[in-house]
C-alpha cells in the first residue's frame, strides 16, 4: 500500500509545474483568453516534450505511460489554466484508443500523440453535441451518446459551428455528426471512464490553484486592522476548500490507479472521482471568489478564470448528479447480487 508517486512521477510533476509557472503566467493566460486564441507557442513546446502522447501506446507513437502520469499533467495544466488544447485532445485519444477500431486508432492516434492532430470529445444527444470543448480547432471529433454508442469522425465529416463558452481559455463548438465517420465498435465505457478521470484530475488542479490564490490573498488583505484570513468565517471557508480538494484528489488518484491496475473497479472509481471533482470544482472556485471579496468579482483578479474552467469541466461528460445516478445503479446491482448469493 503506497499512496505516493514514484520518483519518475514526481519528476514529471515537478518538471510540468516549473515549465508552466514560467510559460503560462497569469498575464499570458489572460492575454490569450481575452483574444480568444490558443497559446500556439506553448502548445508547440508541450508537443516537443511529448505531452499529448503521454498515455498513448508506443505502437501508436505515444510514450506509453500510464493514466497516473496523464493525470499529473492534467492537474498541472488545470492549475495553470494554460490556454492549450491538451485536455480535449487527450480525451479524444483516450476514447479512440480504448473504444475505436484498429483502423481508427492507426489513422488518428499518431497525429494526436505528436500534437499535429487535435482531437475533441463531446456528449451528443441524437447526433448533436451542444458544447464540445476544443471542438472548433479539432481535426478529429469523438461523439458519445448516453446509450453507450459513439462515433469518431474527421472534422470535415461533421457540422462544426464555433461557439463562445464562458471559458475563453479554450475553444468550443456545437457539433452534429449526422451519419459521418465511423461508429465506435469497442467498449465505449472503457474509454469514457478513463476520460472522466482525466477531467477530474484537471479539476483537482483548478481547485488546488484556487485555494492557493485564496490563501495568499486572505493572508495579505487587511480589514479592521488584521488579515481577513485570521477571521474564522474566512479561515474555516479555506479549510472547507481544502477538504473538498483533498476529497477530489484522493478519488481521482484512486480512479487513475484502477484504470491501469484494477480495471474491474474503474466504472465505480471514475464515477466517484468525477462526482467529487465536479462538486469540488464548483464549490472551491466559488469560495475563492467570495473570499477575495469585491476584488474577486473583478475581471482583473484572475480567480474568475478558474471558476469558469471549473464550471465547464464540472458538466463535461456528465456532472456530479449523473455520476451519482450511475453510482446508485452500481450500488443497487450490488444489493441484488448479494441478495441472490
Partner 1 sequence: MDLTFSPQETAFRDELRAWLAANAPAPEPSDGGEDAHYAWRRDWQRRLYDAGWAAPAWPTEYGGRGASLTESAIYFEEIGRARVPMAANVLGLLLGGPTLMVWGTPEQKERYLPPILSGEEIWCQGFSEPDAGSDLASLKTRAVKDGDDWVVTGQKVWTSGAQYSKWCMLVARSDSEAAKHKGLTYFLMDMEQDAVQVRPLRQITGEAEFNELFIEEARIPDANIVGGVGNGWKVALTTLMNERAGLGFALQIRLRQLLDDLIAKAAERGMLERYGDALAELHVRCESIRLLAWKGLTDVERYGQPGPEGSLVKWLWSDTNQRLTQLAVDIVGAEALTSGESWSYELLRARGNTIEGGTTEVLKNIIAERVLGLPRLKVAA
- Tallying the residues shown for the chain, one arrives at 341
Site string for partner 1, 9-48 (x = CB under 8 A): x---------------------------------------
* Cell numbers placing 239: 479549510
* Cell numbers placing 336: 441484488
Which residues does residue 123 pair with via DSSP β-bridges, in sequence order? 144
Residue 17's Cβ-side half-sphere holds a number of Cα atoms within 13 Å equal to: 12
The residue within the footprint of partner 1, chosen from 125, 164, 295, 332 (CB under 8 A), is 332
Size of the site for partner 1 (CB under 8 A): 51
Compute the distance between CA of residue 297 and CA of residue 319 in angstroms, rounded to an integer: 25
Q: Is 1 in the site for partner 1 (CB under 8 A)?
A: yes
The residue within the footprint of partner 1, chosen from 126, 335, 340, 341 (CB under 8 A), is 335
The residue within the footprint of partner 1, chosen from 103, 125, 261, 295 (CB under 8 A), is 261
**Pairing label, strands 128-133, 172-176:** antiparallel
DSSP conformation class of 81: T
CB of 293 to partner 1, least distance (A): 16
Compute the distance between CA of residue 119 and CA of residue 87 in angstroms, rounded to an integer: 9
Site string for partner 1, 264-283 (x = CB under 8 A): --------x--xx-------
CB of 101 to partner 1, least distance (A): 32
The sign of the dihedral angle between the CA atoms of 35, 37, 40, 42 is positive
Q: Which stretch binds partner 1 (CB under 8 A): 82-90, 118-126, 140-148, 224-232?
A: 224-232
SS3 of 11-28: the string is HHHHHHHHHHHHHCCHHH
Q: Is 230 in the site for partner 1 (CB under 8 A)?
A: yes
Cβ of 183: how many Cβ atoms within 10 Å?
A: 14
8 Å CB contact between 313 and 197 = no
Nearer to partner 1, 241 or 286 (CB): 241
Nearer to partner 1, 103 or 239 (CB): 239
The residue within the footprint of partner 1, chosen from 53, 205, 229, 281 (CB under 8 A), is 229
Q: Is 232 in the site for partner 1 (CB under 8 A)?
A: yes
Question: Cell 475533441 belongs to which residue?
Answer: 120
Chain residues in the site for partner 1 (CB under 8 A): 1-6, 9, 68, 211, 215, 218-219, 226-227, 229-232, 235-236, 238-240, 242-243, 246-247, 250-251, 253-254, 257, 261-262, 272, 275-276, 321, 323-325, 327-329, 331-332, 334-336, 338-339
Amino acid at each position: 500500500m503506497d499512496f505516493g508517486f514514484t520518483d519518475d512521477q514526481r519528476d514529471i510533476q515537478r518538471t510540468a509545474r516549473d515549465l508552466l509557472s514560467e510559460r503560462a503566467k497569469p498575464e499570458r493566460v489572460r492575454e490569450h483568453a481575452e483574444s480568444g486564441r490558443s497559446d500556439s507557442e506553448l502548445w508547440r513546446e508541450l508537443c516537443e516534450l511529448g505531452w499529448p502522447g503521454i498515455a498513448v501506446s508506443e505502437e501508436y507513437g505515444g510514450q506509453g505511460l500510464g493514466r497516473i502520469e496523464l493525470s499529473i499533467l492534467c492537474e498541472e495544466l488545470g492549475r495553470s489554466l494554460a490556454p492549450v488544447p491538451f485536455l480535449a485532445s487527450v480525451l479524444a485519444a483516450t476514447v479512440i484508443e480504448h473504444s475505436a477500431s484498429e483502423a481508427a486508432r492507426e489513422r488518428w492516434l499518431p497525429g494526436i500523440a505528436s500534437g499535429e492532430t487535435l482531437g475533441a470529445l463531446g456528449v451528443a444527444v441524437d447526433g448533436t453535441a451542444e458544447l464540445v470543448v476544443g471542438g472548433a480547432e479539432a481535426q478529429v471529433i469523438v461523439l458519445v451518446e448516453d446509450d453507450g454508442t459513439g462515433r469518431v469522425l474527421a472534422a470535415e465529416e461533421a457540422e462544426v459551428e464555433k461557439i463562445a463558452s464562458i471559458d475563453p481559455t479554450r475553444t468550443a463548438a456545437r457539433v452534429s455528426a449526422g451519419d459521418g465517420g465511423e461508429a465506435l465498435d469497442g467498449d465505449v465505457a472503457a474509454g469514457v471512464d478513463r476520460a472522466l478521470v482525466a477531467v477530474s484530475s484537471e479539476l483537482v488542479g483548478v481547485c488546488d490553484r484556487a485555494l492557493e490564490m485564496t490563501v495568499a490573498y486572505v493572508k495579505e488583505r487587511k480589514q479592521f486592522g488584521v488579515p481577513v484570513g485570521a477571521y474564522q468565517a474566512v479561515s474555516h471557508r479555506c479549510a472547507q476548500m481544502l477538504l473538498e480538494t483533498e476529497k477530489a484528489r484522493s478519488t481521482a488518484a484512486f480512479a487513475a490507479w484502477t484504470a491501469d491496475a484494477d480495471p474491474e473497479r474503474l466504472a465505480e472509481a471514475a464515477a466517484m472521482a468525477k462526482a467529487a471533482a465536479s462538486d469540488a470544482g464548483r464549490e472551491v472556485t466559488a469560495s475563492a471568489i467570495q473570499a477575495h471579496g469585491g476584488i474577486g468579482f473583478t475581471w482583473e483578479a484572475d480567480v474568475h478564470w478558474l471558476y469558469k474552467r471549473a464550471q465547464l469541466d464540472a458538466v463535461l461528460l456528465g456532472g456530479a448528479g449523473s455520476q451519482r445516478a450511475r453510482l446508485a445503479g452500481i450500488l443497487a446491482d450490488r444489493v441484488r447480487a448479494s441478495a441472490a448469493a
